[in-house]
Structure 1
Amino acid sequence: MEATAEEVHHTEHVPQWKIEEVEDIKNLIQSYSLFGIVSISGIPAKQLQVMRRELKDIAVLKVSRNTLVTRALEKAGGTAKDLEDYVDAQIGLIFTNENPFKIYKILEKSKSPSPIKPGAIAPKDIVVEEGATGFPPGPIIGDLQSVGIPAAIDSGKVSISETTTVAREGDKVSQKLAAMLNRLEIYPDEVGLDLKATTYEGSIFTSDQLAIDVDQYFSDFTTAVRQAFNLSVNAAYPTAENITTLISKGVSEARNLGVNATIIEPQLMDTHLSKAYSQMLSVAQIVYDKDENAVDDDLKQTLTSAATSKQETESGPTTEEETKESEEEEESEEESGMAGLGSLFG
């Protein structure tokens, strides 16, 4: 299809650098698995350059005119074109092969505290803590009180009397309050790249979808895996992950069944004999307690030895052994004490 005269005329007057810029953005979108739009509003140019250097091993950060960005998105097509709605105000473009959740976390961690500007909206509750300020007495007391911060003189310094919330999240910060917060070195704002939206593997992720508690998510995932494993074992549903546990559980249950049902198998004979011997001793002990002459001498000796062994286990060392050890310890302590006195008096 041939271009109209108007389109040809328009193309002829588009500067070459704009054509190259659009093509460059389109190529970057197609070269990386993730493409995103970030807000750079309020970030000084110098600090933006620092951020670009810090991200150089992770991502490419590019700033261009919004009209050129929109044109590049149209040319790239696919899900990239769907990000046109996020091209407004001051934005930058980010390109990376990291997943969107990781790059969001990296950008959030890179933000730094910043003084809030007059007329700005408080991003969160702004709290001034109780305590000394380090300022000498003077007009600052009145300045503090004029913005709702209770202040007084304490030990020759200006002190804030009580912890006070001077602005709620969403409140507009006045010029006087912004100036005072700056003097108190309270920086409630943050400077950094705000990831607005990304396209990744055919899907679009917005900032609210990416703002997850990774530790909680990992904990929930671990709990789910453990519960799924327990369910599969209890339901005897074999998988590659639980087959060893299922076999061990089956062997243990089969062994217990064989012992309790007195099933004669070579693998169970030691357990059967040990169990029978223990039961025999229990019966013999009951009989012996009623009539000592009801058991023979060998069994009587066995019962007596078992009782003695049990008593020694419960009571610990014999009295004679304890007395001997105590006397040896006392003699050693006396000799040590005399040696100490001798060295003291020469």
Structure 2
Amino acid sequence: MKHKAHVSQYKKDELTRVKSLLQKYKIIAIADMTSMPSVQLQRLRSSLKGSVLITMSKGSIIKIALEDLKDKIKNIHELETYVSGMPALLLTNENPFKLSFALKKNKSKAPAKGGQIAPNDIMVQAGPTPFPPGPIIGELGQIGIKATITEGKVTIKEDCVVVKEGNVISTQVANLLTRLSIEPMEIGINVLAALENGIVYGKDVLSVDEEDYKKNIVLAFNSALNLAVKIGYTTKGNIKVFITKATRDSKALADSKNLLSIDDGKKN
């Protein structure tokens, strides 16, 4: 005879709480709070109070809640694959991109520690350092940085990527980066995915730079306008361009044939 696994009342209550919260908001985001200092988390909660609810729970409970609600909230179960590390739920009724931008603005730089994962390629740029000649040249060489002496100071010859994105940062590299005043780590909430109206947006989409996004919209608009003009497709938005072009072309034609236009007659 099989015995049913005992589930504590706490877990039952916690599952009920999480499911209840998930059904109250239009936007559901999954975040990883690993390495997030509690002091900064409290500050972030205060700054986002009223617009974003940040709540944490065990990964297993969050996954069960997402699975249980798949018939009520379209594609919510797809968020299960993003639950990892120290998971948190970010719940809001605002645009998921607005949420991502707000969290990005609240991030701060921090020095690296041995054992941490590089969030992106960590580069040491060419240029002078504050160090006088000494053992530092050999230490830099051990991690692949070419250095020389210029005007009594150690100078890095060329840009050098010391840790590739996703690789572990060694204690040796971390210490040298700190001495070079390089802070490659970011302290803040990393949004892994967000669900809006049944669509799951991954980290790569949510992390698009705001300025780049605006530039891309302008570029897309100009490209569409140029194409429409080229093929002669008129719309409300481009009709003035066609009128201006037609006026300019007709004037050029009149000038080339020495024809008198209405405007020329008025001038005379």
TM class by shorter chain equals: 0.7 to 0.9
Distance in 1 of aligned mates of 2:206 and 2:52: 17
Choose from 8, 29, 38 the match for 2:22.
29
Deviations 1:41-78 (A, max 9, x none): 22222222222223224311111111211122123223
Choose from 175, 178, 203 the match for 1:179.
175
Deviates more, 1:83-92 or 1:44-53: 44-53
Q: Against the structure 1 CA distance between its residues 82 and 271, is the aligned structure 2 distance closer, same or farther, given a 3 Å change threshold?
A: closer
Shift of 1:148: 4.5
1:1-346 equivalent positions in 2, closer than 5 A? 10=6, 13-15=7-9, 17-77=10-70, 78=73, 79-122=75-118, 123-133=120-130, 135=131, 140=136, 143-149=139-145, 150=147, 152=149, 154=151, 158-165=153-160, 167-170=162-165, 171-212=167-208, 213-227=212-226, 230=229, 234-235=232-233, 237=234, 241=237, 271=262, 274=265
Shift of 1:216: 3.0
Shift of 1:154: 4.6
Distance in 1 of aligned mates of 2:17 and 2:116: 35
The residue identity in structure 1 corresponding to 2:27 is L
The residue identity in structure 2 corresponding to 1:85 is T
Q: Against the structure 1 CA distance between its residues 152 and 31, is the aligned structure 2 distance closer, same or farther, given a 3 Å change threshold?
A: same
Query: Which structure's residues are more often helix, by fraction?
Result: 1
TM-score by length of 2: 0.74
Q: Against the structure 1 CA distance between its residues 67 and 242, is the aligned structure 2 distance closer, same or farther, given a 3 Å change threshold?
A: same
Where does structure 1 lack aligned partners over 5 or more consecutive residues?
255-269, 279-346
Q: Against the structure 1 CA distance between its residues 250 and 91, is the aligned structure 2 distance closer, same or farther, given a 3 Å change threshold?
A: same
Alignment coverage as a number of residue pairs: 252
Shift of 1:192: 2.0
Q: Against the structure 1 CA distance between its residues 180 and 32, is the aligned structure 2 distance closer, same or farther, given a 3 Å change threshold?
A: same
Percent of matched pairs sharing the same residue? 29
Where does structure 2 lack aligned partners over 5 or more consecutive residues?
251-260
Q: Against the structure 1 CA distance between its residues 180 and 246, is the aligned structure 2 distance closer, same or farther, given a 3 Å change threshold?
A: closer
Q: CA RMSD in A?
A: 4.0
The answer (yes or no) to whether the contact 1:145–1:151 under 8 Å persists in 2 is: no
Structure possessing the higher relative contact order (Cα contacts under 8 Å, 6 or more residues apart) = 2
Q: Against the structure 1 CA distance between its residues 37 and 136, is the aligned structure 2 distance closer, same or farther, given a 3 Å change threshold?
A: same
Report the 3-state secondary structure (helix = DSSP H, G, I; strand = E; otherwise coil) of the residue aligned with 2:169: coil
The answer (yes or no) to whether the contact 2:162–2:173 under 8 Å persists in 1 is: no
Q: Against the structure 1 CA distance between its residues 80 and 252, is the aligned structure 2 distance closer, same or farther, given a 3 Å change threshold?
A: same
Deviations 1:258-296 (A, max 9, x none): xxxxxxxxxxxx949948x97xxxxxxxxxxxxxxxxxx
Report the 3-state secondary structure (helix = DSSP H, G, I; strand = E; otherwise coil) of the residue aligned with 2:64: helix
TM-score by length of 1: 0.59
Larger Rg: 1
Query: Which structure's residues are more often strand, by fraction?
Result: 2
The residue identity in structure 1 corresponding to 2:188 is G
Distance in 1 of aligned mates of 2:264 and 2:173: 87
The residue identity in structure 1 corresponding to 2:121 is K
